[in-house]
Structure 1
């Protein structure tokens, strides 16, 4: 079921970006370009905490999504946008998919009220060595929940090619 959710979100993203559906893919239904708060839907405060490191064209991202409430969420999708291109071949964690040359999306799994989702760990190969990578973290899909505090789920992290870990 997780792969279906990520695949639907990625297919929706392709449609929004004007790329159309891949050959043989079926439409996932209505397409939204970004999370749209539902007036009558749940309210949640999704947050992401983690660290990023870059060494020898390999970017490591370790992240834990959490929800401060007031409602639990069955799932959400975090988007990671990079300032440099990813290598063509990537071995991604379960529940994660590429969404472009510089983007990866991952589902969080259930986000209980005042609880954490699954740990997300990525080891991404860059297309070529770069001295730095800017990583932008945000929520791509949250099931239509309202999130009034976007400051804790939108991050911009600069990782220098030193192997040092940068927290967010």
Structure 2
């Protein structure tokens, strides 16, 4: 069921040609904070979604986009699906106003062994809410192939 919701968001993004964020409706403020580390072409990412409110978010989908292509075969956690060569979408459960969601953790492998990747995270579906503060739900982090964690 979670995968179907993710694919529904994928279709909305592809049909809409970009970000499927509502323009009318209750206001919510999504944010994502976490860390990423890379070693030998393997990238580990973990982040926690938060809704600063004032309204609840019934459902949301987060896009994770890498600067390098991903290997074709990936073992992704439930609620996450590959949507393009460099993109994975993950469903975020409902978030109460001023609520913290469940942590999302995934590991992907990029092609080759690059010395660095850029990871971009943003909301592509927010359950019909309006997010007027898009600065905190868009993250961009440079991850070096050092095994060190880079926080966002």
Query: TM-score normalized by structure 2?
Result: 0.94
Computing the radius of gyration from Cα coordinates, the structure with the larger value is 1
**2:50 alignment partner in structure 1:** 66
Q: 5+ residue gaps in structure 1?
A: 17-30
Distance 2:75 2:66 in 1: 17
Q: 5+ residue gaps in structure 2?
A: none
**1:48 alignment partner in structure 2:** 32
User: Equivalent residue of 2:73, what SS?
Assistant: coil
Distance 1:128 1:62 in 2: 22
The structure with the largest strand share of the pair is: 2
**2:10 alignment partner in structure 1:** 10
Distance 1:93 1:131 in 2: 25
- The higher relative CO (CA closer than 8 Å, separation ≥ 6) is in 2
8 Å Cα contact 2:36/2:46 also seen in 1: yes
Distance 1:36 1:118 in 2: 21
CA-CA distance at 1:32 after TM superposition: 6.4
**2:23 alignment partner in structure 1:** 38
Please tell me whether residue 83 in structure 1 is matched to residue 74 in structure 2. Answer: no
Distance 2:11 2:82 in 1: 11
Distance 1:3 1:83 in 2: 24
**Runs of at least 4 residues off by over 6 Å:** none
- Residues 14-72 of structure 1 deviation map (CA, whole Å, 9 limit, x = unaligned): x43xxxxxxxxxxxxxx563234333x11100000000111010000001001000001
CA-CA distance at 1:10 after TM superposition: 2.2
Distance 2:22 2:7 in 1: 22
CA-CA distance at 1:11 after TM superposition: 3.2
**1:163 alignment partner in structure 2:** 147
Query: TM-score normalized by structure 1?
Result: 0.86
8 Å Cα contact 1:79/1:106 also seen in 2: yes
Question: Alignment length, in residue pairs?
Answer: 152
Distance 1:87 1:159 in 2: 17
